[in-house]
Amino acid sequence: MKLLLLSNSAAPGRSYLDHAREVIAEHLDGVTELLFVPYALADHDGYTAKVAAFMDTLGIRVRGAHTAREPRELVASAQAVFIGGGNSFRLLKSLQRHGLVDAVARRIRADGVPYMGSSAGTNMACPTLRTTNDMPIVQPVSFDTLGLVPFQINPHYLDPVPGSAHMGETREERLRQLLEENDVPVLGLREGTWLRRSHDALELGGLAAGARLFTSGAEPVEHAPGADLSPLLAAEARFDCRPD
Amino acid sequence: MKLLLLSNSAAPGRSYLDHAREVIAEHLDGVTELLFVPYALADHDGYTAKVAAFMDTLGIRVRGAHTAREPRELVASAQAVFIGGGNSFRLLKSLQRHGLVDAVARRIRADGVPYMGSSAGTNMACPTLRTTNDMPIVQPVSFDTLGLVPFQINPHYLDPVPGSAHMGETREERLRQLLEENDVPVLGLREGTWLRRSHDALELGGLAAGARLFTSGAEPVEHAPGADLSPLLAAEARFDCRPD
């Protein structure tokens, strides 16, 4: 299995995806046409054009999943799949409606087709939607996502702001609440970082800020770029498992 | 119907609920025992004790819904109901498991029992969970909530921070995405503000910051404390209604 899971697609002062250009080029080496899934935003054509403009600089053509009457047929013949960010509830609901959750997962798992996700697309690679930061603007049939890794990722992971007057929970507090209800490792991927999976190997990449790993009953652990996170691929997750 | 819907329970430099003491005292006038629903946090006993300490200063006893084998029986005899904040997905899942969504709504609607909510408890008074700020740490059976008002409320409404380096969506952007998928007015209740409903009258109260109202196809509108928002009680909401 070949995965590239980006925390974010936009970085300060950089054009779309530019901060990850090198790792994307490596990940998609040999691919001439990419299937892009734009459902996380409302403007499918505009979103696909933005991705096509970036991929054009790598010599890769882009086809939007929404351009086919049966998007599943495009999945069946795809050389590589990219699911972009936006609202992850809207994205998952559309994937479900078009029968793409299992169809995409099968292509990635069984056929070794490279998968790339950013933000909501990275959420989709996890077992469930439970660690998204998005507002539940629509109701998907279930929270089950593609399950390309057996642990959860929190994209755009944010550290607490010292002295903030904001009375809401910090991201860390939210993830600790999640661990009260579920038994699953959660990797907080800071902006500018990503995960690469190649079969049984999982490595953290990107900016020095790195990632913060949360697990039940333990203090969070920091990981720096280059960290070998392969042990996470053996995680056995249990959801909604708090005794009543 | 008698509702008090608070944006938040904690305010800078004030003890729990203290910022809304006067309006709570008015709302619960004549009540000697309050049914408190603590499911939004994991520590039900601790949460109930915190509410009891505040209510004691108003001469009101507090009973936690979790202290009964059948919480529905407590609802049937409650003089008033307060649903507290925390994680709204966890809260709704517990309400569903205990058969409390309809049971509480019926008591408030049919019997005129006063309802009070803060944060997640305010989300519960809306038709659905779609405007919560919380992480979906557990999966409720559906997003349908108590429907004590026919529009959506976004508690802890936050204005964009000018010049912020944060690349995530602003709250306003999130609510605009919500309006791409649903046709429903959304009231962004800033911290320190609340709504009071008495039958067909709805009024905004609290701090001068007030509230921001979002509707499909129109620019957002600001409302100040004292604003008569009764027209919102005639809203006809449609959810997940964007043409495919």
Calpha distance B9→B75 (Å, rounded): 22
pLDDT tens digits along A99-136: 999 999 999 999 999 999 999 999 999 999 999 999 99
Give the residue-averaged pLDDT of B213-222: 96
Are residues B184 and B145 in contact, defined by beta-carbon separation less than 8 angstroms? no
Are residues B138 and A240 in contact, defined by beta-carbon separation less than 8 angstroms? yes
Q: What is the mean pLDDT of chain A?
A: 96
Give the residue-averaged pLDDT of A16-42: 98
Give the residue-averaged pLDDT of B193-215: 97
CB burial readout B54-89, b (16+ within 10 A) else e: bbeeeebebbbbbeeeebeebbeebebbbbbbbbbb
Calpha distance B112→A156 (Å, rounded): 44
Give the residue from chain A lying closest to B120, CA to CA.
A168
CA distances for A29 relative to A79, A106, A172, angstroms: 11, 21, 36
Predicted confidence (pLDDT) at residue B234 exceeds the cutoff of 80: yes
Are residues B119 and B131 in contact, defined by beta-carbon separation less than 8 angstroms? no
Closest approach of chain A CAs to the CA of B237, in angstroms?
Answer: 13
Q: Specify the amino acid at residue A69.
A: R
Give the residue-averaged pLDDT of B211-226: 97
What is the predicted pLDDT for the residue at B169? Answer: 81
Q: How many CB atoms lie within 10 A of CB B28?
A: 21
Closest approach of chain A CAs to the CA of B137, in angstroms?
Answer: 5
Say which DSSP state A32 is in: S
The residue length of chain A stands at 244
What is the predicted pLDDT for the residue at B161? Answer: 80
For A164, the 3-state DSSP assignment is coil
Calpha distance A240→B139 (Å, rounded): 7
Say which DSSP state B144 is in: B
Above pLDDT 70, what percent of chain B?
A: 98
Are residues A204 and A223 in contact, defined by beta-carbon separation less than 8 angstroms? yes
pLDDT tens digits along B83-138: 999 999 999 999 999 999 999 999 999 999 999 999 999 999 999 999 999 999 99
Nearby residues of A148 by Cβ (< 8 Å), 6 or more positions away: A1, A3, A105, A108, A109, A115, A125, A126, A197
Predicted confidence (pLDDT) at residue A196 exceeds the cutoff of 80: yes
Q: What is the mean pLDDT of chain B?
A: 96
Predicted confidence (pLDDT) at residue B242 exceeds the cutoff of 90: no
Q: Where are the alpha helices (DSSP H) in A189-242?
A: none
For residue B226 the two structure tokens come to 């004292």
What is the predicted pLDDT for the residue at A166? Answer: 62
Of B137, B165, B240, the CB nearest to A177: B137
What is the predicted pLDDT for the residue at B165? Answer: 61
Name the strand (E) or helix (H) holding A116.
Answer: strand A115-118
Report the topology of domain A2-234. Rossmann fold (3.40.50)
pLDDT tens digits along B169-191: 899 999 999 999 999 999 999 99
pLDDT tens digits along B52-92: 999 999 999 999 999 999 999 999 999 999 999 999 999 99
Name the strand (E) or helix (H) holding A121.
Answer: helix A120-124
Among chain A, residues having any CB pair with chain B shorter than 8 Å are 8, 10-12, 42, 86-87, 90, 93, 97, 128-139, 142-143, 156, 158, 165-168, 174-175, 177-178, 180-182, 191, 239-240, 242, 244
Are residues B112 and B65 in contact, defined by beta-carbon separation less than 8 angstroms? no
Predicted confidence (pLDDT) at residue A167 exceeds the cutoff of 80: no
Lookup result for tokens 């990632």: A211
Give the residue with greater pLDDT, A13 vs B128: B128
Predicted confidence (pLDDT) at residue B244 exceeds the cutoff of 70: no
Q: Specify the amino acid at residue B243.
A: P
Give the residue-averaged pLDDT of B208-227: 97
Taking contacts as CB-CB distances below 8 angstroms, the residues of chain A near B239 are 138-139
Of A93, A137, A178, the CB nearest to B182: A137
For A211, the 3-state DSSP assignment is strand
Q: Where are the alpha helices (DSSP H) in chain B?
A: 21-27, 44-56, 71-77, 88-97, 100-111, 120-124, 171-181
Predicted confidence (pLDDT) at residue A97 exceeds the cutoff of 80: yes
Give the residue-averaged pLDDT of A124-149: 98
What is the predicted pLDDT for the residue at B164? Answer: 67
CA distances for B236 relative to B127, B217, B222, angstroms: 11, 15, 21
Of A93, A165, A178, the CB nearest to B135: A178
Can you tell me the ipTM of this complex?
Answer: 0.95
pLDDT category at A242 given cuts 50, 70, 90 is confident
For residue B214 the two structure tokens come to 């979002």
Are residues A104 and A92 in contact, defined by beta-carbon separation less than 8 angstroms? no
Predicted confidence (pLDDT) at residue A165 exceeds the cutoff of 80: no
pLDDT category at A207 given cuts 50, 70, 90 is very high
Q: Just list the catalytic residues of B.
A: 119, 134, 156
For chain B, the first-to-last Cα distance in angstroms comes to: 38
Site from B137, B153, B159 to mutate, A interface, most A CB atoms within 10 angstroms: B137
What is the predicted pLDDT for the residue at B130? Answer: 98
What is the predicted pLDDT for the residue at A114? Answer: 98
CA distances for A126 relative to A237, B150, B211, angstroms: 11, 35, 37
Name the strand (E) or helix (H) holding A179.
Answer: helix A171-181
What is the predicted pLDDT for the residue at B49? Answer: 98
Calpha distance A63→A185 (Å, rounded): 34
Calpha distance B20→B7 (Å, rounded): 10
Q: How many CB atoms lie within 10 A of CB B42?
A: 16
